[in-house]
Chain A
Amino acid sequence: MATLTATTPSVGGLSNEEILRYSRHLIMPEVGMEGQLKLKAGRVLCVGTGGLGAPIGMYLAAAGVGTLGLVDFDVVDASNLQRQIIHGTKDIGRKKLDSAAERIADINPNVQVVRHEVALSSENALEIIRNYDIVVDGTDNFPTRYLVNDACVLLGKPNVYGSIFRFEGQASVFATKDGPCYRCLYPEPPPPGLVPSCAEGGVLGILPGVIGVIQATEVVKLLLGKGQTLAGRLLLYDALQMRFREMKLRKSPDCPICGPNRTIHQLIDYHQFCGVPQQPLAPQPQPAALEQEIEPRQVKALIDQKAPIVLIDVREVHEHQICNIPYAKLIPLGELPKRLHELNPADDIIVHCKSGMRSAKACDLLRQNGFLRVRNMKGGILAWSDQVDPTVPKY
């Protein structure tokens, strides 16, 4: 695990290079020399260097935040580049930490980057977060969100929150002194599967830019001690309507971690709490029995033999337009319950989606409705591209 070195940059003053670099800050009375030195002394932990973390890291570096901790253990993938602008095409396959640190050093070499190449967990979160003044939550999953919240409440560190889905974003500031926390807003996460994921649901690439920049703004205001932060307010942004709305947030008297009768006094098992399997790289929701799954190459063989099978694609219409298997009938998962009459329980049905998650849900739904000869095509159309037809693009 990375540790902060003893050679933290001197906060005694700014070099001539820094004075020129920050001149547009220095001439504003709200920042000035005093504020710029506060930014330089600031230690901010950015959890995640993905869609939200990218603009957060870049703008905080440019603004002159002295110490930026980055938590990530992921590798840059081509499908990240649509929104994770801290990484470039040349970085595909590199560790996100390496790519992000390099970009930050290019933007502002005065920033000390501290790399935490770990998955934040109950075992390491307090030790890591303890070294920072503010935490920015740029994560993409419920277990880490609750972990970040709880660790920040326990340590008394402000948690600058942002979250995105498709065209919609949320932002707030949690766990300030006397302010509400994430659990005041949502005591519990949704069970897995009830809310679609971004991998399944998609996200407008620019959206994390908007929300991440709002988070970065709040970090700078907290460090400067200027203005009104989002503490006590939940900002909602809808990019399709291009509308910002604001809801009041209160410190909940029933909050299990920051309320007067709190029941949580230490970090817990967040994967268990969120009902997510501990093994993060094995995301099969319902481990279907073997005979309930079928490999794409076996499906191709059945098609070639002209076997009487019915192949159903449960992806969305716009995904079908990207690529499809010609023999498949499109019934988006959301429409399946009311289109069951289009299917015959006597048929051999094979269901596919992009990667096998939604089709597993569709198989469960079909079985519950009396369709017993149902199989899930393992790995979805991505695996079809690998095993059967490489001209089918992956997305």
Chain B
Amino acid sequence: MPKVIIPTPLRPFTNQQDAVELPGSNVGEVLQALTTQYAELRKHLYNDEGKLRSFVNIYLNEEDIRYLDKEKTAVKEGDTLSIVPSIAGGLAWPL
């Protein structure tokens, strides 16, 4: 099954797991399986219209899915999906 790597800020919603193996033949299906298993993750990945949020990027192996077939991008056994959210870093938020 494809593997999804969970970034630190989202690990509270996956019982602190840093990677999860999930079924699915394309990116959308795998993410669907992920947000079904961890329902609280859903609002962090998708907006109210059900679209991936613009500050969360999804990579299939090393490639941004925006430059592949987006959520229809096919995935296969051994592939790694990475969720890479923007992080502000440093000391405080807001400043």
A interface residues with partner B (beta carbon < 8 Å):
48, 50-52, 80, 119, 138-145, 162-170, 185-190, 192, 194-201, 203, 208, 234, 236, 238, 240-241, 245-250, 252, 276-277, 280, 283, 334, 337
Contact = CB atoms under 8 A, between A and B. Distances in A.
Given A195-B87, A240-B18, A247-B64, A141 B9 contact: no
A162 B89 contact: yes
B86 A166 contact: no
Given A168-B7, A190-B53, A245-B82, A140 B92 contact: yes
Contacts of B63: 247-248
29 contacts: A48-B90, A50-B90, A52-B89, A119-B95, A139-B88, A140-B91, A141-B88, A141-B95, A165-B88, A168-B7, A169-B89, A186-B54, A188-B54, A189-B55, A194-B44, A195-B93, A197-B93, A198-B89, A198-B90, A198-B91, A199-B92, A201-B9, A203-B89, A208-B90, A236-B82, A245-B82, A247-B62, A248-B59, A249-B64
Nearest to A249: B64
Contacts, number: 139
B95 A280 contact: yes
A241 B6 CA distance: 12
B90 A277 contact: no
B8 interface: yes
A141 B64 contact: no
Contacts of B62: 246-248
Contacts of A208: 89-90
Interface in B57-84: 57, 59, 62-64, 66-67, 82, 84
Interface in B1-34: 7-9, 12-13, 18
Contacts of B89: 51-52, 139-140, 162-165, 169, 198, 203, 208
A197 B92 contact: yes
A170 B87 CA distance: 8
Interface of B: 7-9, 12-13, 18, 40, 44, 53-55, 57, 59, 62-64, 66-67, 82, 84-95
**Chain A CB within 10 Å, residue with most, of B53, B57, B86, B89:** B89
A245 B64 CA distance: 14
Nearest to A195: B9
A187 B9 CA distance: 19
